[in-house]
Chain A
């Protein structure tokens, strides 16, 4: 089947007075319709920057240096700003982190949903009142909310409800790619599950490909088909979820899996030593080697291990445990 998203050698750099920060440094992956891809990494690994780059929302001093982002059949990096605006939400949409900050506090929910449609749908610049009611009702129902909530303001909703409103917004124009950037990081587990179930059914209904960005490996195990592990702006391992959990190859992935709390390991803690990589003026070569006190200045190759398993293979840190 044709891929809905193809990212090829994407580079996003932030040009700061102290030097360039290579937040995303040569990332390639693809996404099929109905597929769910998880992107995991620590704070500062570049995962959110990558998500925003896919929407072309990088602001100065950040800049998309090179690469291709092909959504459907067009490279969105070739579009002008007006064309891009028409693609956002209708082709590729973003469900942001922290719904409490992404909704306008002085605007009713229904107005915000309609606003999204007006702004990004080329054919819907004016919407009649009855049509509005119908669209809002349908959208809210599709995420399991009462249509009457459209009349409310964001502060009258709970955190989980607000996040479901942003999901409704994200699917309102039936995009082919949905990016969810830590959609449940501020919610407790029961609500988290509810929101993820909503996201799942919405995605299945519209048949979009979904990218889930986050650092919670547990959530990834429950939700996604493939996982890309990011470290210091690069994907270090990309494989189906079972492979990542059962046969991880990269030492960073191994440690990440090892650090997870398991139900049969009371009182056992496996932290990851060292500190997350500093992206400012990062040295050439393997960044994970630097964390564990080793060094490999060579270009690290992106190796295909098996049919769908890729790894950035550094022979200096490969045996680290």
Chain B
């Protein structure tokens, strides 16, 4: 059996609010399992509307929040029970790219710091020239010129450039998995292609698997190999991206595909008829081959 880098088993997350009285709970993620194989790097999309649980799932896989039940394993070990060295390795090998390229930078520091600190912290490089080489390599891989970017402050860069720096930072640590939470939704449409292209190349060149969290099925289709569709915390449909997008089986997926604004005036949105109206009180679950 091949080695699993990251494995989530029967994950359930329930958020509760209120103290003693009036306790209410939300089922954010309901019994979802997924795994990422070391030998077969894959780009997998996790798609769904706002509130479908996709970000909660990502945060659990990153170890930022604990699942209510179920277990998450990194290279076979439970991520909430790692020793110091394993923990450091987990943090280094499972990287993330967040949605907002404006909120993640400290405006008082030059962007060099964002790139330097993790390399120092994880002891990836041993001396300054090595660090510099690695940073320059990472910046070049995402299509930024090091001489134009290094030494600048975050406000001097555009949103697209900042997001590319976050991608470069993740890459410089030689991760095995990158969890990208809507990495291009706040970037201009015309600059998205460059960012997606570098993420796509990671899989082929560096053998990095990517979990691409999004609600945009067109970029998911462009980038990913397979897809999981979440709705109200349930996995309603999953499978190879081509088959899911072209022949959606679940009502919600049909809606999602039907709402894609295709950049082609000949493919206008079709009007829904009454029977296709969204009625999703009974989500069905399952993998599709």
Contacts and interface: CB of A to CB of B under 8 A. Distances in A.
Contact of A266 (B192, B222, B263): B222
B265 A218 contact: no
Contacts of A221: 261-265, 267
B19 interface: no
Contacts of B158: 43-44, 275-276
B235 interface: no
A272 B260 contact: no
Main secondary structure of the interface of B (DSSP, over half): helix
Interface stretch (A73-81, A128-136, A257-265, A303-311): A257-265
Given A188-B50, A191-B49, A245 B264 contact: yes
A190 B193 contact: no
Nearest to A187: B50
Contacts of B49: 188-191
Contact of A261 (B188, B194, B222): B222
Contacts of B217: 189
A245 B260 CA distance: 17
Q: How large is the interface on A (under 10, 10 to 19, 20 to 34, 35 or more residues)?
A: 35 or more
Contacts of A257: 263
B59 to A, nearest CB: 18
B190 A189 contact: no
B222 A245 contact: no
B48 to A, nearest CB: 8
A166 B161 CA distance: 32
A78 B147 CA distance: 50
A42 B194 contact: no
Contacts of B241: 266
B159 interface: yes
A259 B196 CA distance: 11
Contacts of B268: 222
Contacts of A272: 190-191, 193-194
Interface string B30-54: 0000000000000000000110000
B219 A261 contact: yes
A255 B189 CA distance: 12
B223 to A, nearest CB: 8
A271 B194 contact: yes
B204 to A, nearest CB: 9
Contacts of B256: 189-190
Q: How large is the interface on B (under 10, 10 to 19, 20 to 34, 35 or more residues)?
A: 35 or more
Interface in A213-265: 215-223, 241-242, 245, 255-257, 259-263, 265
B218 A263 contact: yes
Contacts of A255: 190
Contact of A217 (B189, B197, B242): B189
A85 interface: no
B255 interface: yes
Nearest to A268: B222
B245 interface: yes
Nearest to B161: A275
A193 B259 contact: yes
Interface in B226-257: 241-242, 245-246, 255-256
Nearest to A242: B265
Nearest to B262: A218
Pick from B158, B242, B264, B278 the residue with the most CB of A within 10 Å.
B264
Contacts of A16: none
Interface string B158-182: 1101000000000000000000000
A192 B261 contact: yes
Contacts of B197: 269, 271
A219 B242 CA distance: 22
A215 B190 contact: yes
A222 B191 contact: no
A66 interface: no
A40 to B, nearest CB: 9
A268 B221 CA distance: 11
A267 B216 contact: no
B200 interface: yes
B171 to A, nearest CB: 17
Nearest to A160: B50
Given A190-B256, A266-B222, A268-B222, A259 B193 contact: yes
A276 B159 CA distance: 11
B215 A271 contact: no
Given A221-B263, A263-B221, A267-B223, 12 more contacts: A42-B190, A188-B49, A191-B49, A191-B50, A193-B269, A218-B263, A221-B262, A221-B267, A222-B262, A260-B218, A261-B222, A266-B222
23 contacts: A43-B158, A187-B50, A189-B216, A189-B261, A191-B50, A192-B261, A193-B258, A193-B269, A219-B261, A221-B262, A221-B267, A222-B262, A245-B263, A256-B190, A261-B193, A261-B218, A261-B219, A262-B264, A263-B262, A266-B222, A271-B191, A271-B197, A275-B158
Q: Which 7 A-B pairs have the closest CB atoms?
A: A218-B261, A271-B194, A269-B197, A193-B259, A271-B193, A188-B215, A261-B222
